[in-house]
Structures are given as structure tokens and as C-alpha cells.
A and B are shown apart, each in its own frame.
Chain A
């Protein structure tokens, strides 16, 4: 009799733990659902390929071995316009050290992007995500958003919002191949 009693105790404990765990897990994930990111730090950056203003293809995996500074932006976005010249200056410093910039414009017209690039004298490659597919793959919400990809192609950091020149130079230092 004592044996069955103990079995029953374990059975009940087991069932209760399973039920409570399942419920707590569900409530917890529901409560934090909005904050779940599709991509996180340390994840492999999804590969993509886009065409720049000169008609050249840029494929992320082509830059394996280099640090890649991916900046999602739009011509109408004020913080973007502010950080772009700074990015350009740092690009001049770091491009020799193996850091590449890919500025991904979100589905704007060639005219607007071209004019913007000319106005600010940008030298780094600017690609246009015409179908927003790269934006979807990276789950980009506010503009600008910057992703730092290290030489192994892993995400080092995700920066939402604008950056100062000091930030930019620090970030570039961070992903500079060592």
C-alpha cells in the first residue's frame, strides 16, 4: 500500500509540475511577445543581395572576412541624414582596415537616393531594397537601424536610432577584423 501511495504522490507532483510549467511558460511568452526579436546578437546575419546606384550587385557573404556595417535608412529620415556624413568620414578611415559599409535604402526611388548621395557626397555603396525583402528578413522597425556584422558574418550589435560620429568610430573599431 505504501508503494502505491508513493507512486501516486510522484504522479500527482509530476502532473502538477507539467501543467504549471506549461501555463507559466505560455503566460510569460505572451507577456514578452512584442519584445521577441527575430534576430539576436550572435546570430548569423541572413545573407542578401542588392544592387547599388551604379548597378553593381552587393552580396553580404562576399564580404566574409571583413566587418560589415549595415545601415538601413531613408532620405526623409532626419537622424539618417545627420549620421550619413559622419559615416562617410569614418568609412574613409576604416575601409582600408577591412570594414565595409552597406547603406540599405528602403524602397525609395533612384532619383531621390541618387540626389541624396550626391548632396552629401557619400562614397560607400548604397543599395536600394525595392521589395523590402531585406528589411523583412532583418525585421527592421525604426529607421535608422544599424547592424554590426563581424568577420565571421555574425551579428555583433543592433543599433536602433541615430548614432554620433564617436559611436560610429567605436562600432567600426569593434568589427574591424583582428
Chain B
């Protein structure tokens, strides 16, 4: 076995561990009310042991891949996203040992699982570094930024728990609607994983020729049945689905197709879940949060932001600026990724001011934490995939 395949297996083990640990944390918080503490402690302890084991395996993946590649495994979308998932688990472990709350694990681990699964949909082979990435700042900048983001993500987890417990799901309200939207969005990510995996297993490939926005003839290979065709496309593979709609040159129809398939699969999965559960996802999850201490969730949410914000600033802005000065000759260039890092930073700055000076505690603070996470994910996913800039290495 090569180091690379060992590394891949370690990641798989970590993935499985997180999956199992989630069930134990679920068991811990579901235990009957009377024997709460004993039951919770036992299941919670098993949960955290498995989580730590998974995390060690995850770290081992990271280190072995680092050794195999000769550079920190944070140089493409798969590697970065996986590292982010790993650090999310790491942050959760840290928070667990401070606050001893299995409930956070019940929500943080599935989040990490989805993130790692999402990451695995991208090309997984080790890529050599292009000249712009050949710098020790790659290691420093990316790891610190991912760490900061993962700590901030914990605040969103706490916020989500807060909302699930606090929002009245029996009455129709804006809060109820948006909470369910957040749930639906999470399911869409699963939809992306499901559709990509389905077509990967089917080995689906369809090649088209098209004309790009610079009027150049090009070829493109879809890995899913083409719903949208590229500008002036011509089908090159036989027996493949013919696109339903042709898009203008500025639209990347392949990406649009991927997004649409994720929507379709995600919506189907969501619909099935609704059918099986016979209630909204928020209503399904709410009982798990019944015993949540709102005060504690609020505190964890705030604590995570106040720990994560400086780390994020250091990694995503300061180290980023130092590196940009070295590599691109200017510390700031209004590149989309830079702008979104600034937006994230400003958002959390606003969060802190709202909380400290305007007394936005509790539910408002929880909503802000969730929105902050959405901005982070937007920067991680959409900016890389949709808004191409200097950072699109994937």
C-alpha cells in the first residue's frame, strides 16, 4: 500500500467514526429524563471517545498526505474543504472539553460529515503546486484561516440548537420558515453529494463542443446528464442526453447542470424525509434540543465567535495580506475571495458590536451566527465555483 492510499483509508476511517459518534451523541441527548445525567454521561463519553479516535485518524490522514505530497494538503478544493471539516471536529472537541455538551456534537459532527462528503466530490488526487502556491505562506495562511472558520462554525452550531429549541414550531412564523430553509439548504448539500456519486458510479460522461465567451471553440465533458448546454454546443458523444436548454456564453452550463441536479436530488431527498417523518425537519430535530440549556448555547455561540474571530483575522486577512504582497506584489487587490473574506470579517465585527453595544443576545445572536456560517460557506463554495478569481485553483 502506498502512503497515498493509506492516507485515503485513514480519512475514510475518520468519516465512519464521526458517523458512529453522531449516533452516540444522539443517544446521549435522547436519554429519558429521569436518569438523565448517568445515561447522558455514558453515551456522551463513548461518543467523544469515538470522535477523538476519528479525529486522530483524520489528523493521520492529513499528516500522511502532507508527507506524500511534500506540501501541506490544503492546495485544492478537496484538500481545503476536508481540512475545514477536520478542524470543525477539532473545534468541537475543544468546546466539548470546556462545556461537556454532547448536544453540540450531535449537530457539529453531521456538519463535518457533510463537509467531508462534499469535499470528496472534487478531484481527490494530489496535485503539484503551481508557482503561485509555492510558499510556506500556503501552509500558514490556509491552515489558520480554516481553523478560524471552523471555530466560527461552532457558533453556528450552537446558534442552530438555540433556534431549534427556541423557535415556536407550532405557529406559523418567519422564524419557522427560515429555520426550515436552513435545513433544506443542508439537505441540498447532501443532494449534491448524492447526484455526483450516482453519476460517478454510473461512469457518466458526455462530451460537447462549444464556443466560449471569447468566441473560441472548446470542448467540455459533463459528468452528469446535461440539462443545460453550453453556448452553441454540439454533442460529440453518442447515446447521451441532449441538453434541454442552451445557455449564453457567459453561463457555465456544466456548473449550472451540476447545481440543478443537486437541487433535484436534494429536493427529492427532502421530500422523502418529509414523507417518512411526517413533519418538518426542524420539528423532527427539535426534541433533540429539548434539554438544551439556552443560556449555555448562547454562551458557547458567543465564546466561539470571540475565540474564532481573532484567529480568522490573523489567517484570512493578515497572513493573506502578507502572502499576497509576496506573491502578487500587492497585499490587497479586491479579488472576489479577498472581498468575501473581508465581508465575513466585517459581518462578525458587526455581530460583536450588536452583541456588546446593542445587547443582541439569545435568538438574534443565534440567527447572526447562522448567517455568518452561511457567508463562510458561500466564500468557500460559491466564490470558488461561480465567481472565478485568482483563488480558483480547484
**Chain A–chain B contact at Cβ < 8 A:** no
